[in-house]
C-alpha cells in the first residue's frame, strides 16, 4: 500500500504496478500541475489503476503504509513532518538536500521509519561500498577523483550521488569530507594536495547519470564506474527500500542498511 509523491511519475508507478503484493494507493502533485485529476496508471502507460493524482499530501500520508518521495528539498521536509505525524514509512530519493535538511529529516525519523539516499540505484550503492573499501585499503599515495555527468537540465552540482561517493571515500580513510574536498579548480591552482578528494562535473544531453571514482597512484590507476541509462533503476531501489522498511523500528536508514552493508569493514 504505497503512496507516491510525484517527481518523475512513470517509473515508480510502473514498478509498483508490476510488483506482486504492492498496491498504488495514492499519488500527489504540486497545486496546478497538469497531472492533477488524472489516473496515475494511465499517465504511466500501464492502464487505469483507480488512483487519481491529487494535491493533498496530508490525506495521502494518513491513508497509506509507505510513501516514495522524489520531489524537491522544500517539499521533502514537509513530507517528513507528515510522515512523522502519520507514522508512515517514508523513502526519500530527493537530491539537493543540505545539512539542515538532513537534520530535520533525522528529527522526523525519531517518530517513524525513513530511508534516505542520494541515489536509490542498487548498483550505485554497491559502488559506494566498493569506494569505501578501496579508500580504506589504499593509502594517500592513491589520489581520489570523482567524475560525474548528468543531463543538461540538472540544477545541482556536484550531484548528490557524487557527494555521497566522496563521503564514502572519506569515511574509508577516516577523515571528514569537508576537510579534504576539492570542488573547484580553475586557473593557477598549484599542485594537488595530498589526501584531497576531487570532484569534476559534466553536464550535457539527456544523460541519466554516470559516476566514476578514480584512484590514481604513480604508474597505476583504478576506476570504478556506474552508468545509469533508465530512471527505472531508482524506482526499483526505492520500492525495495519501502518493502525492507516494513517492521523496522523508527529511525533514519540508508540503502547500506537495506542492502546489508552496514557494519562491514571499510
Q: pLDDT of 14-67, one tens digit each?
A: 999 989 889 999 999 888 988 899 999 998 889 999 999 999 999 999 999 999
Reply yes or no on whether the pLDDT at 11 is more than 80.
Answer: yes
Closest CA to 12 of 74, 73, 82, 66: 66
pLDDT at 4: 57
Q: What is the DSSP letter of 31?
A: T
Between 156 and 100, whose confidence is greater?
A: 100
Average pLDDT of span 242-254: 96
pLDDT at 225: 98
Grid coordinates in use for 62?
A: 494518513
pLDDT at 265: 42
Reply yes or no on whether the pLDDT at 174 is more than 70.
Answer: yes
Read off the pTM. 0.79
pLDDT at 21: 86
pLDDT at 182: 97
Reply yes or no on whether the pLDDT at 255 is more than 70.
Answer: yes
Predicted confidence (pLDDT) per residue in 204-245, tens digit: 999 999 999 999 999 999 999 999 998 889 999 999 999 999
Long-range (24+ apart) CB contacts under 8 A made by 75-79 are 75/5, 75/30, 76/101, 76/105, 77/101, 77/104, 77/105, 79/5
Between 30 and 248, whose confidence is greater?
A: 248
As beta bridge partners, residue 223 has 214
Cell 495521502 belongs to residue: 60
Q: What is the mean pLDDT of the chain?
A: 92
Predicted confidence (pLDDT) per residue in 125-140, tens digit: 999 999 999 999 999 9
Q: Which residues of 134-170 are buried (b: 16+ CB within 10 A; e: fewer)?
A: bbbeeeeebbbbbbbbbeeebeeebbbbbbbbbbbbb
Reply yes or no on whether the pLDDT at 263 is more than 80.
Answer: no
Between 89 and 247, whose confidence is greater?
A: 89
Cell 569530507 belongs to residue: 177
Predicted confidence (pLDDT) per residue in 67-90, tens digit: 999 988 999 999 999 999 999 999
Average pLDDT of span 106-123: 95
Between 45 and 109, whose confidence is greater?
A: 109
Grid coordinates in use for 178?
A: 569537508
Between 7 and 237, whose confidence is greater?
A: 237
CA angle 120/147/185 to nearest 5° reads 135
Q: Beta 220-228 vs 181-182: how paired, if at all?
A: unpaired
Please identify every residue annotated as catalytic: 150, 154
Amino acid at each position: 500500500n504505497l503512496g507516491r509523491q510525484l517527481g518523475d511519475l512513470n517509473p515508480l508507478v510502473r514498478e509498483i504496478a508490476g510488483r506482486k503484493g504492492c498496491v498504488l494507493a495514492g499519488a500527489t502533485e504540486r497545486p496546478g500541475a497538469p497531472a492533477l485529476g488524472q489516473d496515475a496508471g494511465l499517465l504511466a502507460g500501464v492502464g487505469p489503476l483507480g488512483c487519481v493524482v491529487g494535491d493533498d499530501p496530508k490525506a495521502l500520508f494518513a491513508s497509506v503504509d509507505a510513501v516514495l518521495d522524489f520531489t524537491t528539498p522544500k517539499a521533502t521536509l514537509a513530507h517528513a513532518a507528515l510522515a512523522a505525524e502519520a507514522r508512515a514509512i517514508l523513502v526519500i530519493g530527493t537530491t539537493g538536500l543540505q545539512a539542515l535538511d538532513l537534520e530535520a529529516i533525522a528529527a522526523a525519523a525519531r517518530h517513524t521509519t525513513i530511508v534516505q539516499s542520494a541515489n536509490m540505484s542498487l548498483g550505485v550503492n554497491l559502488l559506494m561500498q566498493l569506494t569505501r573499501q578501496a579508500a580504506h585499503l589504499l593509502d594517500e599515495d592513491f589520489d581520489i577523483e570523482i567524475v560525474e555527468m548528468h543531463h543538461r537540465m540538472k540544477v545541482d552540482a556536484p550531484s548528490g550521488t557524487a557527494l555521497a561517493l566522496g563521503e564514502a571515500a572519506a569515511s574509508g580513510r577516516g577523515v571528514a569530507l569537508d576537510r579534504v574536498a576539492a570542488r573547484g579548480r580553475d586557473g593557477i591552482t598549484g599542485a594537488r594536495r595530498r589526501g584531497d578528494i576531487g570532484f569534476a562535473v559534466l553536464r550535457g544531453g539527456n544523460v541519466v547519470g554516470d559516476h566514476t571514482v578514480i584512484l590514481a597512484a604513480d604508474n597505476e590507476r583504478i576506476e570504478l564506474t556506474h552508468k545509469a541509462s533508465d530512471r527505472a533503476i531508482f524506482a526499483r531501489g526505492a520500492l525495495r527500500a519501502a518493502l525492507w522498511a516494513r517492521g523496522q523500528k523508527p529511525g533514519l536508514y540508508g540503502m547500506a542498511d537495506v542492502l546489508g552493508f552496514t557494519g562491514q569493514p571499510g
